[in-house]
Structure 1
Amino acid sequence: MASSLSEIDVKILNALQEDSRLTVQELADRVALSASSCWRRLRSLEETGVIRRYTALVDPKAAAVGECVFAHVTLERHSAETAAIFIEAVRKRAEVLECYAVSGDADYLLRVAVGEIADYNRFLEEFVFHLPFQVRIRSNFALKEIKYETALPLRATTR
């Protein structure tokens, strides 16, 4: 079940999505709370899992991993065991930034970050082609990034 978010929680989360390096005092000033009250709310958001972690956003091109590939993966055999093996294997691959079970023609959608096309080919050879079952994979290379956001569009869910 989703957590309830108050208006002040949303203000805190929006401020942190913009700049996660804010001190508690800076955050409190932005959302018009005392530092101790802000700290308590922040702690609650962390403990309830609303805030998963804090991180830095790295520019892929500057870090030489600027190629983005969307891989549509279809498992040839559908079973709980096959799915579990695939999911466990995907979680171990650093190149796979996101993996979703999806509806439609494919079973999974992966967002894969690599330095160049040859690195994606190596990913296929070392990972996909070594799975203990057959998969179909359809790859789409991103030509240009139009929009990339990490901030969720939050709204209060309680009054």
Structure 2
Amino acid sequence: MLDNTDKQLLELIQKDCRLTNAQLAAELNISASSCWRRIKSLEDIGLITGYHASIDRNIAGFAFSAIVHVSLSRQKADTVSTFVNAIRNRPEIMDCYATTGDADYHLRVVVEDINAFNKFLDEFLFPLPGIAHVKSNIVLKDVKQGGHLPFKIVGR
């Protein structure tokens, strides 16, 4: 169970993971050693799973983005396992969600341009066993991304 200090700490880390332990402790009005122990504990239980930098995909040369809806022809364990393992190993797939509704999976794919996307579809996605249907929505503009978990802090 997280207390208010843990929740505030997680909010701070989500906003800027480059804050030093001393800066976090000062912001939370706790000692540096207590702050370090809290972070270590949150890492140990698997709540904090890593730290990363947010990179502008357009400036980095990945101007094309699409949401790809994938339906499998069958939900047999080996088909699903093959699909999931293949998806996990593709760097251009930023996110993958197993969902209910018309498609079994939704992928967020980021590549350099339309030609790279077409190659991704033709050489990787379409040949995967068990693919029944693929539908793509081209992203026109990133409205919001990289959101943070909305911790409820008592007394705020």
Taking structure 1 as the reference length, the TM-score comes to 0.92
State which of 51, 58, 63 in structure 2 corresponds to 1:61: 58
Superposition deviation, residue 65 in structure 1: 0.8
Superposition deviation, residue 130 in structure 1: 2.0
Report the counterpart of residue 29 of structure 2 in structure 1.
32
- Runs (4 or more) in structure 1 with deviation over 2 Å come to 132-135
CA distance in structure 1 between the aligned counterparts of 2:153 and 2:41, rounded to whole angstroms: 16
Matches within 5 A, 1:34-113: 34-113=31-110
Amino acid at match of 2:15: E
Report the counterpart of residue 22 of structure 1 in structure 2.
19
CA distance in structure 1 between the aligned counterparts of 2:152 and 2:47, rounded to whole angstroms: 13
Residue 154 (1) aligns with residue 151 (2): yes
Cα deviation 1:65-91 (Å, max 9, x = unaligned)? 122200000001221110000000000
CA distance in structure 2 between the aligned counterparts of 1:22 and 1:147, rounded to whole angstroms: 23
SS at match of 2:118: helix
State which of 121, 129, 132 in structure 1 corresponds to 2:126: 129
Superposition deviation, residue 142 in structure 1: 0.8
Superposition deviation, residue 146 in structure 1: 1.7
Which consecutive unaligned segments of at least 5 residues does structure 2 have?
none
> Percent of counterpart pairs with the same letter?
43
Residue 118 (1) aligns with residue 119 (2): no
State which of 119, 132, 142 in structure 2 corresponds to 1:145: 142
Count of paired positions: 154
Amino acid at match of 1:120: F
Superposition deviation, residue 152 in structure 1: 1.4
Which consecutive unaligned segments of at least 5 residues does structure 1 have?
none
Superposition deviation, residue 94 in structure 1: 0.4
Superposition deviation, residue 156 in structure 1: 4.9
CA distance in structure 1 between the aligned counterparts of 2:75 and 2:50, rounded to whole angstroms: 33
Check conservation: 2:83, 2:129, Cα contact below 8 A.
Answer: no
